[in-house]
């Protein structure tokens, strides 16, 4: 009897394994396909988000570069304007000193050296270098890779800054000559 039960169990087991399970197979394939489709959708969404992030980063970089360059140029122009104010003050001082007359009819001081030094105050180099800076600034802002061009812009900034330093040194030398003329 145990042999019959064993054989019958074996036959049931073998028959259950050999019968096709078409309904369950279809559900499994559909589930696999859904998972694959979701993966593809997620990958596409991630790619789109990456592109959006790159675009916003580029816009942010461009905006920051524009603001930085604008601030830099404004600082240079402000220094130049202050230099011109100093020049006007020195010219006024020279005029005031010349206006003071000793009873003999001559000016109290000889300011020819100071006037000659002040005559060497020439802003044409500054204007040319600032125009070159503006041209490079426009090129940097129009470029898609502004970081590669910033080194040239830095060089031009240093050139304009050195021009302003030369102008200020001229004014300082003029002031020293005025003081020596006492």
Residues 117 and 173 sit within 8 Å (Cβ to Cβ): yes
**Angle at CA of residue 51, ends 46 and 52, nearest 5°:** 95
Residues 126 and 77 sit within 8 Å (Cβ to Cβ): no
pLDDT above 60 for 20 = no
> What is the reported pLDDT for 25?
67
The predicted model gives 166-180 an average pLDDT of 92
**What percent of the chain stands above pLDDT 70?**
85
pLDDT above 70 for 48 = yes
112 vs 85, 86, 90, 180, CA distance in Å? 21, 19, 14, 12
**Angle at CA of residue 39, ends 34 and 43, nearest 5°:** 150
What lies within 8 Å, CB to CB, of 126 at 6+ separation is 80, 160, 163, 164, 167
The predicted model gives 54-59 an average pLDDT of 86
Residues 123 and 167 sit within 8 Å (Cβ to Cβ): yes
Q: Return the domain boundaries, the chain.
A: 30-180
Cα 164 from Cα 159, distance rounded (Å) = 9
Residues 122 and 163 sit within 8 Å (Cβ to Cβ): no
pLDDT band at 105 (very low <50, low <70, confident <90, very high): low
> What is the reported pLDDT for 128?
93
The predicted model gives 63-85 an average pLDDT of 90
Cα 126 from Cα 134, distance rounded (Å) = 12
85 vs 67, 71, 92, 124, 161, CA distance in Å? 27, 21, 11, 17, 17
């Amino acid at each position: 009897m145990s042999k019959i039960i064993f054989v019958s169990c074996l036959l049931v087991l073998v028959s259950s394994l050999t019968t096709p399970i078409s309904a369950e197979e279809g559900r499994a394939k559909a589930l696999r396909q859904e998972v694959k489709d979701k993966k593809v959708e997620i990958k596409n969404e991630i790619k789109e988000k990456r592109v959006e992030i790159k675009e916003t980063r580029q816009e942010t970089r461009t905006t920051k570069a524009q603001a930085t360059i604008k601030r830099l140029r404004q600082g240079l122009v402000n220094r130049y304007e202050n230099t011109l104010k100093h020049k006007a003050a020195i010219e006024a001082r020279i005029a005031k000193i010349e206006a003071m007359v000793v009873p003999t009819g001559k000016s109290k001081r000889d300011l020819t050296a100071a006037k000659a030094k002040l005559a060497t105050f020439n802003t044409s180099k500054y204007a040319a270098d600032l125009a070159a800076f503006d041209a490079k600034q426009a090129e940097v802002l129009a470029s898609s890779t502004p970081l590669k061009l910033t080194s040239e812009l830095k060089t031009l900034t240093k050139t304009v800054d050195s021009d302003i330093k030369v102008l200020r040194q001229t004014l300082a030398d003029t002031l020293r000559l005025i003081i020596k003329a006492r």
